[in-house]
Chains A and B, each alone.
Chain A
Amino acid sequence: MQVAGVEILWAVVGGSAILLILAIGYVVVLVQSHRRVMQAQQAKLEEVRTSEEKFRGIFDNSLAGIMKFSVDTWAISDANEAIMDLCGCSSLEDLQSCMSKLPRSSLESIHDSVTKYGFIAEYEIRTTRKDGGELWMLFSAKKMENGPSAQAVVVDITKRKQFEEKIKEQRALLDQTQDAIMVVDYDGTVTFWNAGAEMMYGWSRDEMTGRVLEELLYGGARRKDFQEAMEDIHRFKEWNGEHYHTRKDGKEILVESRWRTVAKAFNGKLQILIVNSDITEKKRLESQFIRAQKMESVALLTGGMAHDLQNILAPIAMSIHLLEPKVHDEPGLAILKAVGESAQSGLDLVKNILTYGRGIAGERAAVNVIHVVDQVLSLVERGLPESVHLERKLSGQTPSVLGDVNQLKQVFLNLCVNARDAMPAGGVLTVAIANIDADEGLLEYNPHADRGPYVVTSVADTGTGIREEDVDRIFEPFFTTREQGSGTGLGLSIAQGIVKSHKGFITVQSVVGEGTTFRVYLPALVEPVS
């Protein structure tokens, strides 16, 4: 019995021990397994922590402002020092207040873009710092994967914007000038084109930027001018001179051009700064002035020569009359007659030259130009071929002018005859009279004329027209486009001399193949003449 009891006891103890060992073993296995998992977990956590530390460091030390905010409410949950400094804030509450001052349109744009596309990139916002200073920020944000939050990166671009404003102001100043200012690369590509250039050439800034200057402004043979200037720029770094340029509308203009090399600020690359002044008009006035001086010199010279010739021819003409009674044979009389006619012809020519050179004083009286023109046209009408149609536009009231009727008739007759001769194949001869007040624009081309009312008589034909290079010369004495022997070339010179002596002026407008219009401006009488 005792043995059996001991055995049972040992069985209980043994069995319990086995169960205990099994339980402990099971628990140990579980704990070990958990420890391994935990170690792996710990390693992972460590890795995450290190990574988090790294990114936290980037977040905290970034020079760009970084913040986390709710896209819907704009509640800021995290922000780094940089964005605090940028906005002049010291706490998240301050920053929240600063951000709430952003323009409503900006907030809506950011919200819409982030909600719709998940991000917004480099959005420029103007706002104020906490201390009231101006703040321009470049705002980029990306929606985070979980929840309505977004992470924003904000860069202070206030200085950049201020520079841009300054540049804009300077550009506006450049645009105020009448000169064309442009910057081109060494290959001729336009990088800057001011408003003056737009006005001068008709090409807009957008049209010109990126285009090659040579191709647009230097047509045909003019390209050589560009290349020569470029050679000088390469050698001497500057060039000054005059170039003919082609405008967008095809017209040519003469410009005074000043080229200088300049270096780009950011990469030192050389460019050419070109300043062009349109001197087309200036040159035209200069040539007009020179021509007027030339005409005066010619008038002076021919006047002197004509006077001398008159002195030579007058005795010959008078001697003919004295010799005639003494010569009885027919051949002698014929010779005398021929000499007399030649001498008289020479004297007439001299008289015309003197008229051109000195002008003819004549008898000045109040003249109704309509009557004068009407009389002239009655005379001209008879000599017109059937192919030429005369059109009168003489109706209306015109003031009188102070002048010599005969001289004025000579002027109008000369112009009408010229018009007729310009229409060998027929056409329309239009004569019109009008009243105008001479303005600055008109007087600019006729510096000797006075301001005030004028009676303008225009004689227009639809004939062959006058070539551009001849237009400037038609008032020169002895200049004629007719065949040799069919004209003296003094008609228009004398007409101009007469009109000038009446304190008026003549203008001409001609297009080859379309016709020519002469306008005679005579100062109108404003006070009754006794």
Chain B
Amino acid sequence: MAIPIFGQIHLASFLIPASAGVTKFRTLNKAMRILAVLCLFACLDVILQVLLSMRNVKNYFISDYYRVIETSFLCAVFYYSVAPKGVRDVLRGLGIIFAVIWGADVIWFNSHDQISSGMAMISRAFVLAMSLIALQATLRDERSNLVERPIFWVAMGAILYSSGTLLLVGLSNQLLALGQSYFVAAWHINWTLLIIANLFYTKGMLCKSQA
């Protein structure tokens, strides 16, 4: 099946944060460097998915593996972006819990022949929770303007994407069951929010204040 134009735009949007991360890597702080690496992984993820789909090979397993990378990397990004030790401990705890849940899912529940919508929802929920915690912790820091801080844009991107796609990924198998056209129509939401998230990540990496 041919990829819709918007889908192609969404694919192209992954190159934006990845290229920004590569070019600005030296000037980035630790958290943004992790994000830059994540963006490179995201690029690889979509490239692999496209290549496999072009060969009519089911690519759900890639998403399953990418999910743990994305969540743990974002967890690390937030971990290094916040200062309070208590918040860091919470983020680390969430990361570990998610890894355990994902491990259990991969070992016992996931068959890789369909989208693991449950795990997708859980990962979105974890990212959403971690984003909100990181944003809340960032707000307490009154040293500089919020929009000048990379973590704000990264958290915003993650919140928008995770909250907007929470329901979508949860019902993705049901949508697929309804038909390809329904799925694609609904999946536009995912693409839109991914484009927005990628732009926000890019903005985060381009922020001058990398302290």
Shortest CB-to-CB span from A24 to chain B, Å, is: 7
Q: How far is the CA of A38 from the CA of B146 in the complex (A)?
A: 9
Contact of B189 among A1, A16, A23, A31 (CB under 8 A): A16
Q: Is A9 interfacial (CB 8 A cutoff)?
A: yes
Shortest CB-to-CB span from B59 to chain A, Å, is: 21
Shortest CB-to-CB span from B76 to chain A, Å, is: 22
Q: Is B171 interfacial (CB 8 A cutoff)?
A: yes
- Interface size range on B against A: 20 to 34
User: Which residue of B is nearest A19, CB measured?
Assistant: B163
- Chain B residues, Cβ within 8 Å of A37: 139, 142
Q: Is A250 interfacial (CB 8 A cutoff)?
A: no
Q: Is A387 interfacial (CB 8 A cutoff)?
A: no
B156 touching A30 by the CB < 8 A rule?
no
A8 touching B132 by the CB < 8 A rule?
no
Within 8 A of A (CB), among B45-83: none
Given A9-B175, A26-B132: A15 touches B167 (CB 8 Å cut-off): yes
- Chain B residues, Cβ within 8 Å of A16: 164-168, 189
A34 touching B139 by the CB < 8 A rule?
yes
Q: How far is the CA of A22 from the CA of B128 in the complex (A)?
A: 12
- Chain A residues, Cβ within 8 Å of B178: 1, 4-5, 8-9
- Chain A residues, Cβ within 8 Å of B162: 23
Q: Is A20 interfacial (CB 8 A cutoff)?
A: yes
Q: How far is the CA of A20 from the CA of B165 in the complex (A)?
A: 8
- Chain A residues, Cβ within 8 Å of B175: 8-9, 12
Q: Is A199 interfacial (CB 8 A cutoff)?
A: no
Q: Is A50 interfacial (CB 8 A cutoff)?
A: no
The total of interchain contacts (Cβ-Cβ below 8 angstroms) comes to 68
B182 touching A19 by the CB < 8 A rule?
no
- Chain B residues, Cβ within 8 Å of A1: 178
Q: Is B4 interfacial (CB 8 A cutoff)?
A: no
- Chain A residues, Cβ within 8 Å of B145: 38
Q: Is B27 interfacial (CB 8 A cutoff)?
A: no
Shortest CB-to-CB span from B196 to chain A, Å, is: 10
Shortest CB-to-CB span from B82 to chain A, Å, is: 14
Q: Is A41 interfacial (CB 8 A cutoff)?
A: yes
- Chain A residues, Cβ within 8 Å of B160: 20, 23-24
Q: How far is the CA of A33 from the CA of B136 in the complex (A)?
A: 11
- Chain A residues, Cβ within 8 Å of B164: 16-17, 19-20, 23
- Chain B residues, Cβ within 8 Å of A17: 164
Chain A interface SS verdict (over half): helix
Given A5-B178, A23-B128: A12 touches B166 (CB 8 Å cut-off): no
User: Which residue of B is nearest A41, CB measured?
Assistant: B142
B171 touching A8 by the CB < 8 A rule?
yes
Q: Is A417 interfacial (CB 8 A cutoff)?
A: no
Chain B interface SS verdict (over half): helix
- Chain B residues, Cβ within 8 Å of A121: none
Q: Is A285 interfacial (CB 8 A cutoff)?
A: no
Given A8-B178, A19-B166: A13 touches B146 (CB 8 Å cut-off): no
Contact of B163 among A13, A22, A33 (CB under 8 A): A22
Within 8 A of A (CB), among B130-165: 132, 135-136, 139, 142, 145-146, 156, 159-160, 162-165
Given A12-B175, A13-B189: A31 touches B146 (CB 8 Å cut-off): yes
Within 8 A of A (CB), among B159-211: 159-160, 162-168, 171, 174-175, 178-179, 182, 185-186, 189, 193
Shortest CB-to-CB span from B169 to chain A, Å, is: 10
Shortest CB-to-CB span from A30 to chain B, Å, is: 6
A30 touching B174 by the CB < 8 A rule?
no
User: Which residue of A is nearest B189, CB measured?
Assistant: A16
Q: How far is the CA of A31 from the CA of B182 in the complex (A)?
A: 36
Contact of B167 among A19, A30, A34 (CB under 8 A): A19
Contact of B156 among A5, A9, A27 (CB under 8 A): A27
Q: Is A482 interfacial (CB 8 A cutoff)?
A: no
Q: How far is the CA of A19 from the CA of B178 in the complex (A)?
A: 23
User: Which residue of B is nearest A7, CB measured?
Assistant: B178
Shortest CB-to-CB span from B153 to chain A, Å, is: 11
Residues on B facing A (Cβ under 8 Å): 128, 132, 135-136, 139, 142, 145-146, 156, 159-160, 162-168, 171, 174-175, 178-179, 182, 185-186, 189, 193
16 contacts across the A-B interface (CB closer than 8 A): A5-B178, A8-B171, A9-B185, A12-B189, A13-B186, A16-B165, A16-B167, A17-B164, A20-B163, A20-B193, A23-B128, A30-B135, A34-B146, A37-B139, A38-B142, A38-B146
Known: A9-B185, A20-B163, A27-B159. 18 other contacts (CB 8 A): A6-B182, A8-B174, A9-B182, A12-B175, A13-B186, A17-B164, A22-B163, A23-B162, A26-B159, A30-B135, A30-B139, A31-B146, A33-B139, A34-B142, A34-B146, A37-B139, A38-B146, A41-B142
Task: Name the 5 nearest CB pairs between A and B, nearest first.
Answer: A23-B163, A5-B178, A15-B167, A20-B164, A19-B163
